Amino acid sequence: MALVAVGQLTSTASMANNLRQCQILVKKAVQAGAKALFLPEATDYISSSAEESLSLVKPVQESEFVLGLQEEARRFKLPIHVGVHEPSSQTSSQQRIKNTVLWINEQGEIAHRYQKIHLFDVDIQGGPVLKESQSVEPGMKIEPPFETAFGKVASTICFDLRFPEIGISLRRQGAEIITYPSAFTVPTGQAHWEVLLRARAIETQSYVIAAAQVGRHNEKRVSYGHSMIIDPWGRIVASVGEKADEPEIATATIDLELVKKVRAEVPLRRRTDVYPEV
């Protein structure tokens, strides 16, 4: 068993300030005795426009934010799972970026990377209009789970949460912990955040770790918060809530024996002879 921390903060267009917030979260995680820290989607920055985002994005080897987190991971021997932006590898007339998540191991090395495959295009009556596909390049593959000291971890990002197929595929590949770093809007968060996270935990019989952005990022964006960790039975075992006055963590113990118990007691034998395998 191992204690892990899920973090919550309010990222802005200032990567220096966002790094300072993350350093606070690292310190809190270390003081709590956590063996890893999970941070939200787009922790490096949240911009007010696609143009501003393009002006801010840097390769990870040049990003003061990523380099700073790598130094924190090395200094405290604390692995960090974090959402960032990266430049697109595609060459086209339309400039776009990648929405990715990185696993920085305790040596400060980037040991895993996943690029968001489902992009957030919504137009909610009385709520925000967001078209992520206009400026973000979609990922093209699900990355397999990777080994950690506390279990096999699999990565997804935010809007991926609405698609159960990705979690089921990761479970089939051996995932014991599935992450959903996010920046949910307030209307969608109030309606769907908790219920979707609990559903993903129950249907995959895995721990779900969901680090969330919270509060007002700029004049256009407000995030819901409520970072949480859910066990394989669907119970919320750690939650931050909607506090936005300072960066905060919540911690929970990952118990792989519980994963085995739930999967043994309620075996999910999918009838792929009747319906297609996802």
Burial of 256 (0-12, 13-18, 19+ CB in 10 A): middle
| Amino acid (1-letter code) at residue 270 | R
DSSP 184: -
* Nearest-angstrom CA–CA distance, 10 and 38: 15
CATH 3.60.110.10 fits domain 2-265: yes
Q: Are 159 and 85 in contact (CB under 8 A)?
A: no
| Active-site pick, 35, 143, 158, 248 | 158
Under 8 Å between Cβ of 185 and 223: yes
Over the range 207-218, which residues count as b (16 or more CB within 10 Å of their CB) and which as e?
A: bbbbbbbbbebe
Q: How far, in Å, CA of 260 to CA of 246, rounded?
A: 37
Neighbour-count burial for 38-52, b at 16+ CB within 10 Å, e otherwise = bbbbbbbbbbeebee
Which of 22, 35, 41, 248 is an active site residue?
A: 41
Which residues on neighbouring strands pair with residue 214, listed in sequence order?
Answer: 224
Strands (DSSP E) contained in the chain are 2-9, 37-38, 80-87, 97-104, 110-115, 121-123, 129-131, 136-137, 146-148, 151-155, 177-179, 207-210, 212-216, 222-224, 228-230, 236-239, 248-254
Strands 37-38 and 2-9: parallel
Count of alpha carbons within 13 Å of 260, Cβ hemisphere only? 5
Which position among 28, 35, 98, 116 bears the catalytic label? 116
The predicted pLDDT at position 185 comes to: 92
Write down the domain spans for the chain.
Answer: 2-265
pLDDT at 128: 65
pLDDT at site 94: 66
Spans in the chain with pLDDT lower than 50: none
* 131 tagged catalytic: no
Quote the pLDDT of residue 129: 67
User: Which tokens belong to 105?
Assistant: 């191991």
Catalytic residue status for 158: yes
Active site residue 165: no
At residue 223, the pLDDT reads: 95
Output the pTM of the full model.
0.95
The string of DSSP codes covering 106-117 is TTS-EEEEEE--
* pLDDT (0 to 100) of residue 131: 76
DSSP 8-class letter at 88: -
In degrees and rounded to multiples of 5, residue 267 shows phi and psi of -65, 130
Beta-carbon contacts of residue 258 (< 8 Å; ≥ 6 apart) = 231, 232, 233
